[in-house]
Amino acid sequence: MSDEELKAEYMSPRDLSGHGTHVASTIAGGQVSNVSYGGLAAGVARGGAPRARLAIYKVLWGPRGSGSHAGVLAALDHAIDDGVDVLSLSLGQAGSELFETLHAVERGISVVFSAGNGGPVPQTAWNAVPWVTTVAASTIDRTFPTLISLGNKQMLMGQSLHNNASMNISDFKALVYTRSCSMQSLASSNITGKIVLCYAPAEAAITPPRLALPIVINRTMEAGAKGLIFAQYDANILDILTMCKGNMACVVVDFEIAHTILTYLDKTK
């Protein structure tokens, strides 16, 4: 690691990038009331075991969280010598460290690894060895409902992270269906000041929603659209909801809702 990368770093267990704080608070974060995302989904937040005592072994450094196998191995040795009860490693795809944890397990220390952030397709779990507990990235048990009103007075439910009231559309706008919202399909339709429905199941099987949505948002905004209804299949909707919060009204729906909207569009002008 270069001296330049370490210039702004803290020479202590405190982290610069926020990754360590995130991991520590997930484990033992104290209870905080009235937590929300810009007023959305208000409630209480806390870690899994708020009364647990933490020993922090810092192995990732710099703004990009760089580290080495040797550094991780040294931290594991220190933790074992210190007599910790549980080892939690949120390090992505581990190498030789996995086998070093055998020494910890032999001493009665529970070892927990992250399974990575891939999926939900097969063969994306990391650190899956039989002597450790491998924990998948989870989601939250909340939705962020956003109403879509059709001209026939039908109300449909999508999701969005918009918390800016000025982005809400209170009056009706024309609706345009542009399939996958490719550059060609958008160019062939006048979408200025209109709501765009982006719904293309076949293309979605090729390009995951989390890759397609930011591109679609940029294209529709540049073309002057007033809003976007984006259809997706992914069960982990939070991965893409975070993209749907910018300067244009944006709602994410599943294929069933998108089909209902398309059926309405086919029956009315």
pLDDT computed for residue 165 by the predictor: 62
- pLDDT band of residue 22 (cuts 50, 70, 90) is confident
* Residue range 133-145, pLDDT digits in tens: 998 876 666 788 8
pLDDT computed for residue 166 by the predictor: 60
User: All domains of the chain, ordered by start, with CATH?
Assistant: 3-135 (3.40.50.200), 145-267 (3.50.30.30)
* Residue range 212-260, pLDDT digits in tens: 999 999 999 999 999 999 998 866 677 788 888 777 889 999 999 999 9
Highest mean pLDDT among 66-75, 115-124, 221-230: 221-230
pLDDT computed for residue 245 by the predictor: 76
DSSP state of 97: H
User: Are 136 and 125 a contacting pair, CB within 8 Å?
Assistant: yes
Task: For residues 162 and 173, give the distance between their C-alpha atoms in angstroms, rounded to a whole number.
Answer: 18
pLDDT computed for residue 216 by the predictor: 94
pLDDT computed for residue 31 by the predictor: 93
Q: Is the pLDDT of residue 168 over 70?
A: no
pLDDT computed for residue 164 by the predictor: 66
Q: In what order do the strands lie in the sheet with 133-135?
A: 86-89, 110-114, 133-135
User: Are 148 and 229 a contacting pair, CB within 8 Å?
Assistant: yes
DSSP state of 61: B
Task: For residues 151 and 119, give the distance between their C-alpha atoms in angstroms, rounded to a whole number.
Answer: 38
pLDDT computed for residue 259 by the predictor: 95
- Pairing mode, strands 32-37 and 40-45: antiparallel
Write the CA distances from 208 to 38, 184, 196, 245, integer angstroms. Answer: 27, 20, 19, 19
- Residue 24, C-beta contacts closer than 8 angstroms, at least 6 positions apart: 47, 54, 56
What amino acid is encoded at 73 in this protein?
A: L
